Structure 1
């Protein structure tokens, strides 16, 4: 049911995989601060269609080779257009496997618990730092800089070091290793982190969360910060829950990035109409699906009900 609601509202449009977008942000920050790459990286396509776009960053479409005759034959056999068949396939991917297929899929390597363990490790990382703050290991005036360093190292170290190496740079070379220049080195790291929009969003939210010693870290908080880190730099409007709205209100990051933060459905209804009109003018109201997209198909084509 949730997948159906999401499909009918979004037409399966989504932001590109965060791994692709953060790599572009890292390159742009490197260009600004270190002059490598020499030229400003071109902006990536951000909005696309489907589950593969959201998780991998590439768009996959159902295709029929052999020209129009083969497409017509396939559509006659399916009983729906190729566009509708693709829409329904995307919704099924979003729904995930049916319960009766889990055992079979596990024999093929399906292991959702591994992703859950990785997420629990990320939550434990924030809980551990909260304990360090409570023990007095971190001065309040240094909190944000510590969060910046942790965010870069724990969340983005692999793409950062890979990109630095690609352009002949090293972490020590760009951020400094001289113990006599600790303050200056931290400032370089802080400026670099703030030049990466998704990192800046996450840092601001986490810093404000850590400032409240009574607020315990939860799985929802980590997931919400992930979502806002991806959305705020690219979306015209975001509507987080009350906790995240409160944290965002203490930061200027949404304002600086030109993103409107709303906290209720009536407020959302007020800001959506001009955005809907703008989107319709761009793609004719098909949400990127092109010809034949009169709506979004959420029911199975004839004969594929058990797929």
Structure 2
């Protein structure tokens, strides 16, 4: 395996390639991991694609909730495709090198799609808030124009910030060590390889994380505090159960995604043990996209009914 390193001034090297170590420490499980992650990737693609198809074909699902669910499914397909295929290639070929440009591209798309997920989860929380707290005004407030604007805004709002973040990280000088002890190019692990003081770059990561992660999360908390207050005031237990059921799927995804992502990005560089980072990263890069069609579909009567009709026609 070749690893090109171009010598620069002094003791610093300009790294031309990185090495994604991934799960190389589990050498006896490479074939098994390839099989497991291949199956997971296929399930994610098929499951989320099916949601997009169902919500597009059935007029009864042309509602804001399902419009955002289709966007969410498209996002999960894109999000997992940024990291998982590369990891599968590494497991299959054992050729773990990745160019600096390839690494920067992967990081940039990963961060942009991650930002989209944060804001889209906040938008879904707002949709639930309007549906439960202001049901009479729901059709007027959540009209088609607003839904499209919220979706487009969620997709594009993080692009300039994350492009700048990626450019800032890759402007660093890297030492002779060019091995990334992770299965994809992520900010904390790239910064670890840099020479000299990286405190300014770490601080910029915290600031961006607060903007991209904490702000949507606070909006979600605000929405659900209002929702819970409204649900508790409902006169019947069945009405409360139905309202809680509507929100529980979304809350599960929120906790899974935001919890693991926050722990990963808000810890200091010195508190990033590789094993823990890989485990946490699996939650927000693979487990969350895998659970998305399962959580939202199996708990939704309309989607299940549409699914039955779809397969009966086939």
TM-score past 0.5 threshold: no
TM category, shorter = under 0.3
Q: Which has the higher contact order (CA 8 A, sep 6+)?
A: 2
TM-score w.r.t. structure 2 length? Answer: 0.27
TM-score w.r.t. structure 1 length? Answer: 0.28
Kindly indicate which of the two structures has a greater share of residues assigned to helix: 2
Larger radius of gyration: 1
